[in-house]
Chains A and B, each alone.
Chain A
Amino acid sequence: MIALAGLITHSSTAAPGDAVNLYSYRQPFLMKPLLDAFTKETRVKVNMVYLKKGMLERLKAEGANSPADLVLTADIGNIQNLVAAGLLQSSSSSKINRNVPAQFRHPQGLWYGLTTRARIIFAHKDRVKPGEVTTYEDLAKPHMKGRICTRSGKHVYNVSLLAWMIAAKGEAAGEAWARGLKANLARKPQGNDRAQVKAVFQGECDVAVGNTYYMGKMMTNKKNPEQKNWAAAVNLIFPNQKDRGTHVNISGAGITKSAKNKAGAIRLIEFLTGDAAQKIYAEDNFEYPIKVGAKLHPIVAGWGKFKADETFLFKIAEHRITATRIMDKVRFNN
């Protein structure tokens, strides 16, 4: 019991005055270098809970007394759910608005994008002929039968991709696309994005769908050098360059309604969208910086410039539930 009391005092370092308290969908090992840099620059401590599930329910249950000042998410969908539940508050900072282009932040400042990532196609260098796949629509065409690998249709990244399809072409077309893609899968959806490229390398399929930063992580993986071979087996295809552009998503941040340290939270967003932090995001995690003019990692820069779709992200998020239901309807994960 005494030991437990010790544990309680040890761990309840929450909110000593000016610290910023963070609930995060993003892993601590990813955020640590960024938060350390923030603390070093501002002397403001950041406390963090990594909450991949249940963040919305926890904020709701804690109510006005919640210690959280700021939330971090890895997708537009998560943050839009928090907005819909009335858990975030608006804020404004000319510094943030200068850093973040308008389509990557909420009109009233309920959330801000921190980085962007494109969801692209990885195609085997030999087994996929040039021009065979140039659009997301191609993935659903008969010539790709049995050649595609992807992660679960219910993963936020794939749900957002389908929601984007619905936003662009309507529900019926979205469903037809999902059905066509499902029919072309080489195996049941499984694993993460990286595992799909591995499957292409091993010959299980010819084409995979995944986020850009995984490519950078595989190409430079010192701990698991075999991943360099996986990456070397594929070409990157940024789809739909001739029409609406490639689907991009964001990782983002929003200030909670209950924030006790709103000023600190704004300061942290300013920092995360500023030059120093954007550099860490780009260099450590191979993400596309949100800040206009921020430097890309040389590897990422080597993939070349691409045309990103400019649909406002919250418009895409509106179709997420429909997208989830379509995934059920076409039995995508069966």
Chain B
Amino acid sequence: MNEFMTTEAATTGIPPPRAAGAKRNVWSWLNVWSLGTVLIAAAMTVPILAVLIIGLTPGDDIWSHLASTVLPGYISTTLGLMIGVGVGTLVIGVGTAWLVSTCRFSGRRLFEWALLLPMAMPAYVIAYVYTDILEYAGPVQEVLRDIFGWTLKRDYWFPEIRSLGGAASMMTLVLYPYVYLLSRAAFMEQSVCVLEASRILGRGPWRSFCTVALPLARPAIVIGVSLVLMETLNDFGTVDFFAVGTFTLGIYDVWLNMNNVAGAAQLAGVMLFFVVFLMLAERFARRKQRFHTTTAKLKALPGYQLKGAPKRFATVACALPVLFGFLLPAMVLGGYAVTNFDAAANAEVLRHAGNSVLLSSVVALLALGIGVFMAYGVRLRKEKIVTFVVRFASLGYAVPGSVLAIGVLVSLGGLDNGIDGFMRRNFGLSTGLVFSGTIAAVTFGYLVRFLALSFGSVEASLSKITPNMDGAAASLGHGPFSTLKRIHLPLIRGSALTAVIMVFVECMKELPMTVILRPFNFHTLATYVHQFASDEQLGEASLAALAIVGFGILPVIVLSFAITKSRPGHSTEEPTS
């Protein structure tokens, strides 16, 4: 592998010329990859298409009613939330990633992994915890009332946690790690040469960051922020609890209260087109740019030794997100778990934990396999049709979970009943439901929803490998599979691990799809917590909630160390300066 790593080639962005001798071989592989990619991607798009088709079925017109009443509010609230969470996660995620990747200050080694911890905290859980602390009846306001002698609400002003700002803060606190994770990986993969060149040419650290490092990390940052925005857009638990009227809340309202699933699917379709529009706009904005790394001279990042005020600032800036996104809520949950130990601790929780971990692990590995296959399929042949189907397949993340679950229900129900009908007609036997209401249905649902995570991070990582590598491999007689195995996989292993763990953690927290698709008598930790939390009795499920966080943390920490090590030439020793 090393001989490839030290290959220094000029970047052109032009696909590699195919070696004549390898031509036939290459073509036969190409067919398999393209066809396989399209087929897998198509299977993943079925539930999304099903949602759009449900939207086309005739039903009561909801648009005139919504437009004249709540729709403008849904739109402005949703945009406000997206801007709040987008800016918040961007600043915290990129800022802290840059600090821990390139600067030296107290606690940096700790923050490298601790900054990821809030990722394991489900947004609806943290929302519940902060409401308990900050609402009118919570300890903070109680203490204030005691100190200042206020008695009633009208006596003073205190920010309302159950508000747009509150929801944006909660989501920022648990979602910034996505941006942190992806931008840190990008900073780690950057060649120090370009930064040194920038410094030699007279730019200070701040301008080097803004004009060199940041633009180079743009694809990764964009993926991080767009994952965050999609998560924000389709959140139900937090906005429902805070009574913040977003578009997604409107979808649920039309579906469940107006009993109009077609109208809900139409709204979901509109939201989907909005997401597609945003993605296309971003792609268009960087259409002429290439991000391949052409040098592999990756010595340890320099590490600017911070001193004085900047040093203290860096420590505080990294500590705050960990404190508010993880430590404080985890301590509150821990407190609940202690007071409710008898109710919260039982053998069931252990069994549910087993279900959660097993299901999440299997889905994470499957998602990685499919993500790599599809991303590589796209890379091999930039066929418009392949690219289109694959992009469409990764839109599942932008559809609210419950709505997507209906898509899965309808697709699998159709398939099952189709098979059953066929068998009845031709063989006189009934197969019943093969997939519906089984773990397979839940697994499929998770894959459709979280494929974007694995595909996105693998694709971003592959995009940084110059096509010259593929060309060199082909000219040495290696087919695509061999090239993937020997060149690409080792190069993208950091991102692949990131992908696996992101999907794992998301599956651990997943709620809306599991609730709708699961088999009889089946719980995950999240559904177990939900049945209590939905009745505002989180105390009784606090141990299970902590377990979600606990099982999520372990792989997150592993991931962090792996990223640090993934940088060729990066030493874990502090450089002496």
Contact = CB atoms under 8 A, between A and B. Distances in A.
Interface of A: 1, 3-4, 7-8, 11-14, 21, 27-29, 47-54, 56-58, 60-67, 81, 84, 152, 154, 156, 159, 186-192, 194-195, 198-199, 201-204, 223-224, 320-321, 324-325, 328-329, 331, 333-334
B136 A199 contact: yes
Interface residues of B, number: 70
A68 B523 CA distance: 18
A84 B241 CA distance: 29
A152 B430 CA distance: 45
B539 A224 contact: yes
B489 to A, nearest CB: 20
A320 B406 CA distance: 23
A12 B340 contact: no
Contact of A204 (B153, B252, B440): B153
B494 interface: no
Contacts of A223: 339-340, 343, 539-540
B413 A27 contact: no
Contact of B437 (A29, A52, A62, A63): A62
10 contacts: A4-B362, A12-B520, A27-B532, A49-B437, A50-B531, A159-B257, A190-B242, A191-B536, A192-B536, A203-B151
B70 A57 contact: no
Question: Which of B242, B256, B437 has most A Cβ within 10 Å?
Answer: B437
Contact of A331 (B70, B242, B253): B70
Question: Which of A4, A198, A325 has most B Cβ within 10 Å?
Answer: A4
Interface string B408-428: 011011101100100000000
Contact of A53 (B340, B402, B437): B402
B253 A154 contact: yes
Contacts of A54: 402, 405-406, 409, 515-516
B512 A53 contact: yes
B521 A195 contact: no
Instruction: List 4 tightest A-B contacts by C-beta distance, closest first.
Output: A61-B413, A47-B520, A54-B516, A328-B69
Contacts, number: 174
Contact of A3 (B358, B527, B531, B535): B358
B37 to A, nearest CB: 22
Contacts of B520: 11-14, 21, 47-49, 67
Contacts of B137: 198-199, 201-202, 204
Contacts of A224: 539
Nearest to B141: A202
Interface of B: 60, 65-66, 69-70, 73, 136-137, 151-153, 160, 162, 241-243, 245, 252-253, 255-259, 261, 339-340, 343, 355, 358-359, 361-362, 402, 405-406, 409-410, 412-414, 416-417, 420, 430, 432-433, 436-440, 443, 512, 515-516, 518-523, 527, 531-532, 534-536, 539-540
A56 B242 CA distance: 26
Contacts of B243: 152, 188-190, 333
Contacts of A11: 355, 438-439, 519-522
B365 to A, nearest CB: 9
A1 to B, nearest CB: 7
B519 to A, nearest CB: 5
B1 to A, nearest CB: 29
B439 A65 contact: no
Given A50-B531, A63-B417, A4 B437 contact: no
Nearest to B351: A10
Contact of B258 (A21, A324, A333, A334): A324
Contacts of B361: 3
B438 A62 contact: no
Nearest to B73: A334
Given A62-B437, A328-B66, A195 B245 contact: no
A65 B418 CA distance: 11
B410 A27 contact: no
Nearest to B420: A65
Contacts of B523: 28
B132 to A, nearest CB: 11
B440 to A, nearest CB: 7
Contact of B518 (A49, A159, A192): A49
